[in-house]
Chain A
């Protein structure tokens, strides 16, 4: 079945460091890909998404590119801030499905000043 694998955390970085969180997926078709974020004490919210190959999603300085050839959707940010500390979830939704999301296990990011 479909699945999402993302790098295990926790990840601890200093402010202004470069961030990469790896995400790879297995799907039978061409899914839509998402990064959701859960800030401390808050609900899950969309960070960015890409719905077809080679699309790049971006938001709040974060980027991720849909790579069909490597079945990946790695999350990157050039300079992290303390306020980026959160749990990040990679997810997919299979084309032709009812849209239910399949999530990775989540990666906890802590950014130190």
Chain B
């Protein structure tokens, strides 16, 4: 079946511009996660959605980052006023119910470059 998909696969933007990154999780998965993979910081958790509950935003690095999940499916991560340190690969993952022992299925990522 279809896995997790993300778009765009690559994004180049200028410092100060806003960007939107999209994630389509596996159908039926109630839990959705965003992570960031960068050379300096490795893989970091950003935000978590579970069903219709309020998201866990504890990993967001600044208030320039926000995310939403519409209809319990597609999610959009928005970065406002991008900075060069935002350059990274942004990964989305989904799992069945968001339990700690579950496997997370990752998308291919969006590679963001801020000039």
Contacts and interface: CB of A to CB of B under 8 A. Distances in A.
Interface of A: 31-32, 34, 36, 42-46, 49, 51, 89, 91, 93-106
Contact of A100 (B42, B48, B105): B48
B42 A99 contact: no
B72 interface: no
Contacts of B50: 98
Interface string B80-109: 000000000001010100111111111111
Given A44-B91, A105-B42, A106-B42, A99 B106 contact: no
Interface residues of B, number: 27
A21 B102 CA distance: 23
Contacts of B45: 100-102
A73 to B, nearest CB: 14
A44 B106 contact: yes
Contact of A104 (B4, B42, B93): B42
Given A43-B107, A43-B109, A97 B100 contact: yes
Contact of B100 (A42, A94, A104, A105): A94
A103 B42 CA distance: 8
Nearest to B109: A43
Contacts of A46: 103-105
A100 B107 contact: no
B26 interface: no
B106 A98 contact: no
B106 A45 contact: yes
B43 A100 contact: no
Contact of B31 (A45, A99, A104): A99
A104 B4 CA distance: 23
Contacts of A94: 100
B59 interface: yes
Contacts of A36: 106
A99 B100 contact: yes
